[in-house]
């Protein structure tokens, strides 16, 4: 897969001839913009210090950004003390780069001035981006973070008075030599602009529950009354579009997107894998983030060819770099894109298909099972797992999780284990079916007999024919 970088395209204005202008253009205008466009986020710093004079210059450059009504009601706290950076990491809930960067700049504003239309927020955001460009031109890497953790704990740590708000944090430092050199994908320019009226491709507009109004302050991450979680209400294209950009909410580093909820459940699922012949062909479907893919590749014999079938090329480029970061060889891994629920493989050419908790993300899961049966050779195997609606987790999802915004992996709806087992039994021979986990999260207890239908996950190994 090619690196995901921002490059001019036919739909990008940067590919056009120099624009007409009333005054003379700088002769190096395109070079400057191209250098700025190379900036990309980094989450893997080497921890080396940056001189305070340089840090101060970067922050001072930020204050040249425009400010609503010229109030400049911003304040920037530069944290370079190692103990405070470690504490910032703890408060953030897991942003390791907070501890490893050279400095954190906490972005604050004084409450009560130019609040309308988020004017003061926009002002601080503009200053932060100006700092990022200043750091980039000086050869440093940055990442802006909204997820900073408990703001009250941060205010106490930084002695921020209650009349000021901490908006976010900017990490600045030198990237490790091994840090992913990739810029998260930009949407095609044609998708994100229009002339004189709003026009946008349908695949990039996601479902929302019908309402007369969608007031901004009625929507929170943990409580979105308009969110549409059921993938049957999304098209395959919308799901792929959503997943293909949201996977870049993180960097493709080793260990990223490992779920605490699943704990040892992944290992239990992988224990269902059948014995495979040398050179077997295995397909994993919808490997968002590659967490399962990494463990699957480690389980498989080196001779086995692993195909990763995903809806978006952006996901595949993320997973490919993730494999490199995990130290996994790529010579027996294929990155395949599919669309509209149809797998890109000929009939009877695959030895095993793995569906790890993805049926619940699909508009038509039964059609996917038909596709799996089509591509499997006679005697080939399917290993599938699904989040079970008839479980403690299923009840928690219904009462708590489904009230929030749709997660980055895309829309989902847990499916009753009994229904999934019925679908499998109609198409395959079920060799083993188990439940995994009695609790809402974390545990990986293996449940057999009737109890298998009550686990957090239902998992099965099936034979074709």
User: Does the pLDDT of residue 5 top 60, yes or no?
Assistant: no
Return the pLDDT at 432.
Answer: 98
Say if residues 72 and 169 touch (Cβ distance below 8 Å).
no
The torsion of the CA quartet 422, 427, 431, 437, rounded to 10 degrees, works out to: -40
User: Does the pLDDT of residue 447 top 90, yes or no?
Assistant: yes
Return the pLDDT at 260.
Answer: 67
- What beta strand segments (E) does 190-286 contain? 281-285
Say if residues 144 and 132 touch (Cβ distance below 8 Å).
yes
Say if residues 27 and 205 touch (Cβ distance below 8 Å).
no
User: Does the pLDDT of residue 3 top 50, yes or no?
Assistant: no
Q: What token pair was written down for 234? A: 């999304």
Return the pLDDT at 428.
Answer: 98
User: Does the pLDDT of residue 136 top 90, yes or no?
Assistant: yes
User: Does the pLDDT of residue 7 top 70, yes or no?
Assistant: no
Task: For the chain, give the percent of residues with pLDDT over 90.
Answer: 91
User: Does the pLDDT of residue 109 top 80, yes or no?
Assistant: yes
Return the pLDDT at 115.
Answer: 77
Return the pLDDT at 8.
Answer: 41
Run of H or E including 121: helix 119-137
Run of H or E including 35: helix 29-37
Return the pLDDT at 4.
Answer: 41
Average pLDDT of the chain, as a whole number: 94
Question: Whole-angstrom Cα distance, residue 254 to residue 47?
Answer: 18
User: Does the pLDDT of residue 11 top 60, yes or no?
Assistant: no
Return the pLDDT at 21.
Answer: 57
Write out the DSSP string of 139-168: T-EEEEES----HHHHHHHHT--TTEEEEE
Q: Which long-range contacts (CB under 8 A, 24 or more apart) does 235-238 make?
A: 235/203, 235/363, 236/311, 236/339, 236/340, 236/341, 236/363, 237/203, 237/339, 237/340, 238/202, 238/203, 238/204, 238/205, 238/206, 238/207
The angle subtended at Cα 446 by Cα 443 and Cα 452, nearest 5°, is 115
Return the pLDDT at 13.
Answer: 55
pLDDT in tens, 271-299: 999 999 999 999 999 999 999 999 999 99
Task: Tell me the pLDDT band of 22, cut-offs 50, 70 and 90.
Answer: low
Q: What token pair was written down for 331? A: 């010579």
User: Does the pLDDT of residue 9 top 70, yes or no?
Assistant: no
Return the pLDDT at 6.
Answer: 41
pLDDT in tens, 201-221: 999 999 999 999 999 999 999
Beta bridge partners of residue 307, listed in sequence order: 283, 334
User: Does the pLDDT of residue 2 top 80, yes or no?
Assistant: no
User: Which domains, from first to last, does the chain contain?
Assistant: 41-173 (3.40.109.10), 265-463 (3.40.50.150)
Beta bridge partners of residue 142, listed in sequence order: 41, 172
Task: Tell me the pLDDT band of 94, cut-offs 50, 70 and 90.
Answer: confident
User: Does the pLDDT of residue 64 top 50, yes or no?
Assistant: yes
User: Does the pLDDT of residue 347 top 70, yes or no?
Assistant: yes
Q: Any idea which residue has 């038909």 for tokens? A: 370
Return the pLDDT at 19.
Answer: 58
Task: Tell me the pLDDT band of 23, cut-offs 50, 70 and 90.
Answer: low
Question: Whole-angstrom Cα distance, residue 34 to residue 30?
Answer: 6
Region 334-351: mean pLDDT is 98
């Amino acid at each position: 897969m090619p690196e995901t970088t921002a490059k001019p395209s036919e739909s990008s204005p940067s590919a056009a001839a120099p624009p007409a202008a009333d005054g003379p253009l700088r002769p190096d205008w395109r070079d400057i913009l191209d250098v700025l466009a190379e900036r990309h986020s980094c989450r893997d710093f080497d921890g080396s210090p940056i001189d305070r004079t340089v840090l101060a210059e970067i922050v001072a450059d930020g204050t040249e950004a425009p400010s609503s009504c010229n109030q400049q009601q911003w304040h920037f706290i530069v944290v370079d003390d190692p103990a405070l950076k470690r504490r910032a990491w703890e408060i953030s809930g897991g942003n390791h780069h907070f501890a490893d960067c050279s400095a954190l700049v906490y972005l604050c504003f004084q409450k009560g001035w130019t609040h309308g239309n988020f004017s003061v927020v926009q002002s601080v955001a503009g200053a932060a981006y100006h700092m990022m460009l200043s750091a980039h031109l000086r050869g440093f890497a940055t990442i802006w973070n909204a997820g900073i953790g408990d703001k009250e704990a941060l205010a106490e740590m930084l002695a921020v008075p209650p009349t000021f708000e901490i908006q976010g944090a900017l990490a600045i430092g030198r990237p490790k030599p091994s840090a992913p050199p990739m810029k998260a994908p930009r949407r095609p320019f044609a998708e994100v602009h229009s002339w004189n009226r709003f026009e946008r491709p349908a695949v990039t507009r996601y479902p929302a529950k019908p309402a007369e109004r969608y007031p901004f302050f009625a929507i929170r991450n943990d409580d979105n009354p308009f969110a549409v979680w059921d993938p049957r209400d999304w098209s395959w294209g919308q799901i792929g579009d959503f997943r293909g950009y949201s996977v870049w909410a993180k960097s493709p580093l080793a260990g990223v997107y490992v779920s605490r909820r699943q704990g040892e459940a992944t290992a239990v699922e992988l224990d269902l894998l059948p014995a495979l012949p040398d050179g077997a062909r295995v397909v994993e479907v919808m490997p968002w983030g590659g967490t399962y893919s990494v463990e699957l590749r480690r389980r498989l014999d080196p001779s086995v060819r692993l195909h990763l079938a995903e809806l978006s090329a952006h996901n595949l480029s993320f997973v490919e770099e993730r494999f490199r970061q995990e130290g996994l060889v790529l010579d027996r891994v294929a990155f395949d894109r599919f669309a509209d629920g149809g797998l890109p493989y000929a009939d009877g050419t695959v030895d095993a298909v793995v569906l790890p908790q993805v049926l619940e993300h699909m508009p038509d899961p039964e059609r996917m099972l038909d596709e799996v049966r089509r591509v499997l050779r006679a005697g080939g195997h399917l290993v599938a797992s699904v989040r079970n609606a008839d479980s403690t987790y299923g009840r928690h999802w219904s009462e708590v999780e489904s009230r929030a915004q749709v997660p980055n992996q895309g829309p989902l709806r847990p499916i009753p284990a009994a229904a999934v087992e019925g679908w499998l039994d109609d198409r395959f021979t079920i060799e083993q079916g188990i439940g995994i986990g009695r609790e809402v999260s974390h545990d990986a207890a293996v449940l057999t007999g009737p109890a298998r239908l009550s686990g957090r996950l239902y998992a099965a190994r099936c034979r074709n024919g």
